[in-house]
Structure 1
């Protein structure tokens, strides 16, 4: 078991910034959160924490929000066990059920079964929900798919269940890669899963790219995604708030993408784009 640090973040105003802070903290190693009326409690492995890296996040330099924090070291806890105790099944558009093995199955819904380890993308976060909702209306039959920042690989698994061909899943986190492999086997699908970033993409082209990542990485990596996207291919993005959309679309339009659909859940957005 790893020693953890517990951070007590006070946020003013709390909304929509608490969700945004959680999304950005995931990028620097935080893996568990509890929402409070004044902000959030956030947890990170002590050996993985770098305070300078955390302070360089976009949100800590945003004049529209004030964030203060303190932290303390926590005793050894089996966080996976704690996570499982609090993992509820997720329903998307009354069509898809994301559940763990210890939940009862539902034959009337399309099911994705995952082990709820500490990987982002269980479906509880609005951005994952938005991605699944958009994917329901997309044609994946025999399409090559790339899931960037795959987390649990719930999106890649759903793509395969919808008939996708070769499907690649990439995440920067070793824990997510391990969890993704377990979840792929659990759902009986074949994924090519590896650890890395957009810098690791080669010359292979894809018909559909899924990227549920924070705004800064999206802005940086969209040109790379477009370079490996087939003509007429689709790029589905989330991990961004409504006030990030203009910045994201500016980059997309510069890269020759056309906006086909947008959806919003709470303050979060998803964008479906097509390469001309």
Structure 2
């Protein structure tokens, strides 16, 4: 059965930082996919998750510093895929990695990742995914066990696999992300990655050298204790999905659990932080 979505077309002035703030707030109320356009943002929410007052708590819409208007239509999944293909450009992370679609020309880089997001978050275009990939590129993953929590497209798990990580678990609570990750790990010859649908309740006795979690502040604050229980001694936790000013709260929670701040990347006020156990 084809998924039915509502497509919101937001026109945003000025584009930044309003577009990033808007996407973050929309993600909190149920929107699960975004396409940035020249005039703003296309945002998608499943019709079954839509409520008439869904935008009520999206604070940026009432901020006088930004001018934001919108309209919305109902679309089928296949129509969203066409929109994505018409907007998707390959992205390069450093000199070593490119994330591209199957219809892009094959690049001459060490890590060539081919994905089709299909309503899943994590194309590499968003600052948080991009910075998490930067962390991965400068980290030795050979023979290390990895958990990618909130895996989206599976792109972070795939990159760790290309860098020699094993075994690798990837988990996402969204069914479409789960199915999309399964497709993408096969597409990139990383079929050894174990993809599961669910949340932290799936974490029982597993132990990992590295845990990656690119979600949002509230979920991270709730789930960091679960991640800590799953980290091996001297393990590493990479977190993103929140703003620079949120590092204080995230680091306070980590500090309570013997996780020590190591470094962070910052891009357009988003951050990706490395903690060591």
TM category (shorter chain) comes to: 0.7 to 0.9
- Residue aligning to 1:148: 149
- Tell me how far apart the structure 2 counterparts of residues 114 and 41 of structure 1 sit (CA, whole Å): 20
- Residue aligning to 1:248: 250
Say if 2:31 and 2:43, in contact at 8 Å, map to a contact too: no
Distance change (3 Å), C-alpha of 1:68 and 1:124: closer
Cα deviation, residue 182, structure 1: 0.7
Task: Return the TM-score normalized by structure 1.
Answer: 0.87
Cα deviation, residue 44, structure 1: 1.6
Say if 2:32 and 2:121, in contact at 8 Å, map to a contact too: no
Cα deviation, residue 54, structure 1: 6.2
Say if 1:87 and 1:116, in contact at 8 Å, map to a contact too: no
3-state DSSP class of the match of 1:78? helix
Say which of 221, 230, 236 aligns to 1:228. 230
Aligned pairs for 1:203-218 within 5 A: 203-218=205-220
- Residue aligning to 1:272: 274
Cα deviation, residue 12, structure 1: 9.3
Task: Return the TM-score normalized by structure 2.
Answer: 0.87
Give the CA RMSD over aligned residues: 2.7
Q: Which moved more, 1:4-13 or 1:106-115?
A: 4-13
- Residue aligning to 2:74: 74
3-state DSSP class of the match of 1:248? helix
Q: String of CA shifts for 1:70-110, please: whole Å, max 9, x gaps.
A: 65433556111211121100100122111111111112342
- Residue aligning to 1:179: 180
Say if 1:84 and 1:116, in contact at 8 Å, map to a contact too: no
Structure 1 unaligned runs (5+)?
none
Q: Which moved more, 1:147-156 or 1:67-76?
A: 67-76
- Tell me how far apart the structure 1 counterparts of residues 41 and 102 of structure 2 sit (CA, whole Å): 29
3-state DSSP class of the match of 1:270? strand
Distance change (3 Å), C-alpha of 1:40 and 1:101: closer
